[in-house]
Homo-oligomer: A and B are copies of this chain.
């Protein structure tokens, strides 16, 4: 026997998915729904909480409850890596014209704002293992936030780690005021003679932690798409590890794979 709040949720879910209520439509007040279903307010509120967790409705304090508009997903393609590499030999001016995020479909450079923060830290066990260095090794930690113009919450947050002793040959690389750096990390590393050979992406989904929920302006527990990006140079060294997180409903990661042809 399904719980009462499940039946209320199911009924509303069915109405919405059947298209009876378009996106943006305002639902009756919770007290009205309670009267309508002959249920207690708390029971109705629990049903609403379920639908909200499913991403079907949006509750706005003091305003009302609405059928949620589908947010447009940004697409991010792994082809950006080769594209970025191809641009490292270009002039500063050429590199300045477009960024990697603009390369991915959907957005233009002027629609986006970046912010960067640099800190020197020592490697914790997780990053140390990913970079094959000893725990405590000095690193440069760089935190990037990407925002759409007019939006308060960032689209995504990237945390990148570089080996400090690899990059100290170029003091510009330690200066966050030089961001956004035309040509991105691959160009930054090329200034100290590093050529990236391979980039390893590992993608997971998990509930937002409290701090992610705060930073990305989503509810705790809401699905997060997390990418651990590991860059390996032509000498087989791990030269960058980056963790990137997005609210699950804002991103699509695109990975094309070309296969070798059959021998004739």
Contact = CB atoms under 8 A, between A and B. Distances in A.
Interface of A: 10, 13, 50, 53-55, 73, 75, 78, 81-82, 85, 88-89, 195-210, 220-225, 234, 248-249, 251-262
A207 B258 contact: no
B206 A223 contact: yes
A220 B198 CA distance: 38
Nearest to A79: B257
B251 A198 contact: no
Shortest Cβ-Cβ A-B pairs, 3 listed: A53-B221, A205-B248, A223-B223
A201 B256 CA distance: 6
A191 B3 CA distance: 50
Contact of A209 (B54, B81, B209, B222): B54
A167 B103 CA distance: 37
A114 B209 CA distance: 34
Contacts of A85: 259-260, 262
Residue with the highest number of chain B CB atoms closer than 10 Å, among A10, A199, A200, A202 = A202
Given A54-B209, A55-B206, A257 B201 contact: yes
Given A223-B205, A225-B205, A251-B204, A197 B54 contact: no
B221 A204 contact: no
Contacts of A206: 55, 223, 248-249
Contacts of A204: 73, 225, 248, 251-253
21 contacts: A50-B221, A53-B221, A54-B221, A55-B206, A55-B221, A85-B259, A88-B262, A89-B262, A198-B256, A198-B258, A199-B259, A200-B256, A201-B255, A202-B252, A203-B254, A205-B224, A205-B225, A205-B248, A207-B248, A221-B221, A255-B255
A124 to B, nearest CB: 14
Given A223-B224, A262-B195, A207 B257 contact: no
A210 B261 contact: no
A257 B78 contact: yes
Contacts of A197: 258-259, 261
Given A54-B209, A202-B252, A204-B248, A260 B224 contact: no
B259 A82 contact: yes
A248 B206 CA distance: 5
Contacts of A255: 78, 200-203, 255
Contacts of A10: 210
B50 A220 contact: yes
Nearest to A85: B259
